[in-house]
Every structure is written in C-alpha cells, then in structure tokens.
Chains A and B, each alone.
Chain A
Amino acid sequence: MTIANIDAAWIDAALTAARPQAVAALLRYFRDLDTAEEAFQDACLRALKAWPKNGPPRDPTAWLILVGRNAALDGVRKSSRSAPLPAEELISDLEDAEAALVDRLDGEHYRDDVLRLLFICCHPDLPATQQVAVALRIVSGLSVKQIARAFLVGESAMEQRITRAKAKIGAADVPFGAPGLEEREQRLTTVAAMVYLVFNEGYSAGGKELLTRGSLCGEAIRLARLLLRLFPGEPEVMGLTALLLLQHARAPARFDADGAVVLLEDQDRGLWNSRMIAEGLALIDKAVRHRRPGPYLVQAAIAAEHDRAERAEDTNWARIDLLYGDLEQLAPSPVVTLNRAVAVSKVAGPEAALEMIEPLAPKLSGYFHFFGLRGGLLFQLGRRDEAKVAFDQAIALANTAAEAAHIRLHLDRLLRASTG
C-alpha cells in the first residue's frame, strides 16, 4: 500500500465522518438544504485538493464548515458580481479561524443542529422507507445509486423519490432555534426510531441482498454513535447503540455460504464479533446506572443474553422471558409477545407458548414470523397437519427468499418425520 493510497482512504473516511455535523451547521447558516449540501460538496472537493498537499487540518469538520460556508458565500457574491474567489492556498491555511470555530462548535448549538438535520428526515408525511432513504442521502451521504441498490429499485425511481421527499422536508417548518427540553427529548425519540429503521433495512436483508443492504447496518451504527457522542447521558441512546452492536455482531454467522438463514441456535458463535459484543455490553452497563430502562435498553439486554451464551444451550431463557415481560410493560405490542413466546416455549414448553400466541392471531395474520413460530410449536406438539398449514402460510408471507427457504427446511423436516 502506498502513502497516497492511505491518504485517499483517510480523507474519504474523514469526509464521511464529518458530513452530518458539517451539513447540519451549514444548514443552520444557510437555512436551505440544497445550499447546505452543495456547500459541503464544494468543501469536500477543495479538501481533496488541499489536504494531500498541506496535510489534513487539525479539525476536519471545522475546516469543512468554514470552507463550505465561504465557498457558498462566494457563489452568492459571484452571481451578484462582487469580490473574487480567494486563492486555494489561502483557504487551506485556517488554523486560527479553526480554533475559534471549534470553540463555538462545542456548544449546545452544534448538537441541536445535528439532531435537527436528522429530525427533518423523519417528516411524519413520509413513509418509513422514504425517511430512511432521505436520511441516508442527506445525513450519511450515500449516493442515490447506493441507496437505490439497497432498496432494490432503479436509480431514477430512487432519485425521484428522494427529490420529492426533500421538497416535502424543505417545505416543513421546523424552527431553527434551540428546542426546549421536552421538544429535544421528542426529537431524540423520533430520530432514534429512524436510526433503528435504517438498521432493520439492512438487518432484514438476506442472501445476495446482503452485499448491498448489509452496509445499512453499519450506517445505522455510525448514526447511533453520533447521537451518543452528542447526547452522552441519554440511556436510551446507549441502549439503541448497544442493541445495534449486539445484533450486528452476529452478522458473520447469520447466513451460510448459500445465503440461507442460519438460526441463532445453529450459528457458529466463534464467528461473532467479540469487540462489538464487548462494546454493546459496556454501553448496557453505562445505561443501567441511570435506572430508567427504556425499550431499546431492554431489547439490548435481551440481545446481550444471547451474545453472552457461549453455546446455544447456555442461553438463560428464564432471564430472557423476564426481560420480554419488562418490554411488554414498556412498549406493549403483539410482536413483543410473540417474541416472548419463544422464551416461554424454552422455559415452560410449546403448549404454554402456543396458548400465549393464539390470541395474537387476528393482529398478526399478515406476519411471517407469527406463522413460522406457530408452525414450529405445533410441530413440537406433534400436530403435524396444522403445522404444515402454518408453515405454508409463513412461506406465502415471507419477505425475503432466505426467509421462505428457511421455512421450507422446516417443512422438509416435517415431511421426513411423518414419512419416516
């Protein structure tokens, strides 16, 4: 590897890392999303020229904000035929100006800027997938092409979708002033949910999609860490980040070489990312100290129980059952109860679990996992005909080829058992 190679990779990573803060600050300055994005783009182009020559600045984010702001102002000035552009060499010599700017960046403004940038992506009129797409474009800086591939749609269709979504966002009237305490809390909750959506878009991918969509998990973790750095004392942000890390740690073991789902109990735990698990556990430890557990923290604690078990049979299902009980209190939903039933089946047997999920049928009649679990429980109870019906329903509702393939495995096993 040559020095130039390292530099290009370093600059690329630094620009990506700086993007949310820089675009957020430029947005506050220009009060216009397109101008802010263009200004950032401009600053990146200048960085690519200036940094390899002069070395990277002390604070890349501050550099990009300052240069982006100047570049955009020059654009305005040029169109109103006044002062000429400053020479490129002058722009890269910013040490003094940087120091002053960094001081200002450290303030509350800065974190509210980033929160606001994330929050406007969560426009209530936008469907969840569009919120995710627009956040990936604006905040994470993924190209339209990358996002289109992640959502398995054509590039021009995605371009249109993002343009429409941005128009809606631009028209929304989210005040630029610092939010009140309660407002900030609400924004943080909304934004955390969106970050989780980004993660799930990546997590639900399987097989061949994994190559293009799996990266969304990494983007979500990046966003969660950003939130955590801006709001270091928020236990739910710790919980969210821990949850994403503890789930993503298993990514290398979740699919086999053919892209088929490998169940948690069958995964090669040696492939799990131990550093991500350590980080997730450390964040849970921190969050627990605040003694106000929220839904993300409890879900992270459940993921941690799985990650802690060296072998599948070491899993502490009784503890997982308890944690799901907590989650049912904090964020009741039929899906939570369905998940709890898995733990109940391990602790109290399939009959108790089946009893628990039967009342969920009307609410989960369109949910793949409901029929998958129902089929599994019926099969364990020896009610094979009913199990087959449930598995067939699950296949019809599968979201990915990998999900369907997984249920077919169950069906095969069932057929072998009934003929053998």
Chain B
Amino acid sequence: MLYAILCYNSEDVVGDWSPAEDAAVMARLGTVEAGLAAVHRLGAVARLLPTTAAVTLRKARDHLVIDGPFAETKEQLLGFYVVDCGDLDAAIAVAHDLAVANPDRGAYEIRPLAVYRPGGLGEARPRRAVSTRG
C-alpha cells in the first residue's frame, strides 16, 4: 500500500524559523528520508510555498480563479498532482483541463512548490496478510 503523509503546522511559526533552524529541521527529516530511500520506500517529497502564493480554481463558479488557498472546511483533500509549468497561467490551464474532465463540485488549489524530490519507489510489495488480531 502506498501512503501519502501530509504535513501540517502553523505557517506563521514555521515561516519564522531562522535559516539555521530551518536547515536543522530539514537535516533531521533528511535522515528519516534517507533511511526510506535506501530501501526504495520513498516516493516524491515536496515542500510547498506559503498559502499566500496560492490561487484556487472553483469548479462550480465557471472555473473562477480566486487569490489565496482553498479555505473551505466542507470539502476534504482527496488527491494531488505535481505538474511542471512555465508559469502560473500554464498551471491554471492544467487545472482548467482537470475541472473539465471532472466537473461539478470542488476546487483545485494551485500552490507552487519550494522543494521537490521525485524519489524512487521499488517494486510494489505484496499486500500483507490481513489480520484481525492485534
């Protein structure tokens, strides 16, 4: 099974880290990443730019693009894409295509990445046996 691990923290607090603090945290995380990468269990790793850098495309409102992150609490995060685009307009065009393919409700938040490492997963491992006993 592949798992996505989503990172949540206070943007204000993390944004306040000094370059040295930031580097120290990244180094500690890097150790964990390296351990996973060595056994081909690490996929893509991304660090996002702040929410202020985001725009959001609303499907229900004629693909209206509004400034800022997706802030509704009624909808949940269901998936994500990482796309390589020359600029924001190109990224919005991709989101537009996705919205055409999957219309109706919801939104696509478009947030630039600060860091991206593609990673390398090994062969999918056999599904483990299901056990109902702890």
Contact = CB atoms under 8 A, between A and B. Distances in A.
Interface of A: 10, 13-14, 16-18, 222, 225, 228-229, 232-233, 238, 241, 273, 275, 278-279, 282-283, 285-286, 289
A276 B88 CA distance: 17
Q: Considering the complex of A and B, which 6 residue pairs feature the smallest CB-CB distances, nearest first?
A: A17-B12, A232-B68, A285-B88, A282-B53, A13-B13, A232-B67
Contact of A16 (B16, B68, B112): B16
B89 interface: yes
B12 A13 contact: yes
A238 B88 CA distance: 14
A238 B55 CA distance: 12
28 contacts: A13-B10, A13-B12, A13-B13, A17-B10, A17-B12, A17-B13, A18-B12, A222-B15, A225-B52, A228-B52, A229-B51, A229-B68, A232-B67, A232-B68, A233-B66, A275-B115, A278-B49, A278-B112, A279-B50, A279-B114, A282-B49, A282-B88, A283-B52, A285-B88, A286-B53, A286-B67, A286-B88, A289-B89
Nearest to A218: B16
Contacts of A241: 52
B67 A275 contact: no
A283 B55 CA distance: 10
B89 A14 contact: no
Contacts of A232: 52, 66-68
B72 to A, nearest CB: 12
Contacts of B10: 13-14, 17
B87 interface: yes
Nearest to A284: B88
A14 B67 CA distance: 25
Contacts of B67: 232-233, 238, 286
Contact of B53 (A16, A18, A273, A279): A279
A286 B13 CA distance: 24
Contacts of B114: 275, 278-279
B37 interface: no
B65 interface: yes
Nearest to B16: A13
Contacts, number: 62
Interface in B54-101: 55, 65-68, 87-89
Contacts of A278: 49, 112, 114
A14 B12 contact: yes
A10 B50 CA distance: 18
Nearest to A229: B52
Given A16-B16, A225-B50, A286-B88, 9 more contacts: A13-B12, A14-B12, A14-B13, A232-B66, A232-B67, A232-B68, A273-B19, A282-B88, A283-B53
Contacts of B112: 278-279, 282
Contacts of A282: 49, 53, 88, 112
Contacts of B50: 225, 279
Contacts of A279: 49-50, 53, 112, 114
A238 B115 CA distance: 22
Nearest to A18: B12
B98 to A, nearest CB: 19
Nearest to B21: A9
B7 to A, nearest CB: 16
Contacts of A289: 55, 65, 88-89
Most buried by B among A238, A241, A273, A285: A285
